Amino acid sequence: MAQTTPNHKLTVSGWAAHDNSGVISPYTFKRRVNGPDDVSIKILYCGICHTDIHHVKNEWGITMYPVVPGHEITGVITEVGSNVNGFKIGDRVGVGCLAATCLDCEFCKSSQENYCDKVQFTYNGIFWDGSITYGGYSEMLVADHRYVAHIPENLPMDATAPLLCAGITVYAPMIDGKLHESTGMRIGIVGLGGLGHVAIKFGKAFGHHVTVISTSPSKEKEARERLGADDFIISTDPTQMQSKRRTLDFILDTVAAPHSVGPILELLKVKGTLVLVGAPDKPLELPSFPMIFGKRVVKGSMIGGMKETQDMLNFCGTHNITCDIETVTPDKINEALHRLVKNDIKYRFVINIGDTKSSL
């Protein structure tokens, strides 16, 4: 569709999946020319989120192929539209999941545009002009400036990229749960991956006691010594899970695959809250008894609004929070996707796009 949209005159090199085999290959496509509300961005880095896997393999059944994934983008502005204030050529910026919203509903008007009913995403979305959106596995992006954030000067562009999705996705429910307004709460993070490892850092920066609930004993030492986790429970060990019943105030579940939430709910104190941010392709079973007996709350959360995204980046700038990354060149994207599926990454792959023009 994008190729036939009249204002799509820019030829851009990137990487796309063409079917649910999930294999990524070089792909040349068109983007719109920079409009009055747009900024153009030379992409330097793009993180590989597990959502990219859900899309390239069509695990959620919504993929429009070819799909150019990538919504953890950092880069430098190369062009600015005439209506744009607050950005100039050369600015270091980031783009996350949002590409378009209605700008008019109660959510758009209250800086919660991520919950707009007309939300369209950075890839596999349909932009205002009818074109399919293509994401950050590419050399440049044209973005409406309302969905672009500034990167604080002290943060590196590579290890900051995953904050644009993983970071805001765990920050927003923590703010919603008022974790920034008190200290000393006992919080749990289920799944120590891209989202989970940033969640530990935010939990510690807010001054809480952080427990990791993981399937991977091999991650314990590092989680405690390097990421600052206070406790580590193996979720597949019923004895460990039983011994920590009713100990946590708030749990964030970041797991990407179907799993049992009953034993996780039992870890919550009475009236504790479980927030689901992981998005498995199959529904989770929600057992009534742990909810009834503990008056517990289960809710979901999706990324965050742009104001909150900028707040999160500024918070990271102040507290020097970045992601633990392994950088890959674009020719290694398939290898990285494969290793991410196998849970073989501590904790986020980031594609180095800016240095690799010659290999396009």
Give the position of tokens 């196998």.
Answer: 342
Contact call for residue 279 and ligand NAP (CB under 6 A): yes
Token representation of residue 185: 């709460």
Contact call for residue 95 and ligand NAP (CB under 6 A): no
Q: Using CB under 6 A, which of 40, 74, 160, 169 touches ligand NAP?
A: 169
Return the range that interacts with ligand NAP (CB under 6 A); candidates 19-27, 145-153, 298-306, 315-323: 298-306
Which position's Cβ is nearest ligand NAP? Answer: 193
CB of residue 224 to ligand NAP, shortest distance in Å: 13
Contact call for residue 277 and ligand NAP (CB under 6 A): yes
Sheet with 297-300: list strands edge to edge: 231-234, 209-214, 186-190, 248-253, 268-276, 297-300
> Dihedral sign, CA of 72, 75, 77, 78?
negative
Contact call for residue 191 and ligand NAP (CB under 6 A): yes
Contacts of 212 (CB under 8 A, 6+ apart): 188, 189, 192, 196, 200, 219, 220, 223, 229, 231, 232, 233
Give me the residues that bind Zn ion (CB under 5 A), please.
Answer: 49, 51, 165
Contact call for residue 338 and ligand NAP (CB under 6 A): no
Choose the one of ligand NAP, Zn ion, none that binds residue 74, judging by a C-beta under 5 to 8 angstroms depending on kind: none
Give the position of tokens 């799993």.
Answer: 259
C-beta separation of 322 from 126 below 8 A: no
Choose the one of Zn ion, ligand NAP, none that binds residue 50, judging by a C-beta under 5 to 8 angstroms depending on kind: ligand NAP
Give me the half-sphere count of Cα atoms (radius 13 Å) on the Cβ side of residue 206: 26
Q: In the complex with ligand NAP, which residue's Cβ is closer, 39 or 267?
A: 267
Q: Using CB under 6 A, which of 111, 215, 314, 334 touches ligand NAP?
A: 215
Give the position of tokens 């002290």.
Answer: 154
Residues in touch with ligand NAP (CB under 6 A): 49-51, 54, 165-166, 169, 191-196, 214-216, 219, 254-257, 259, 277-279, 301-303, 340, 343
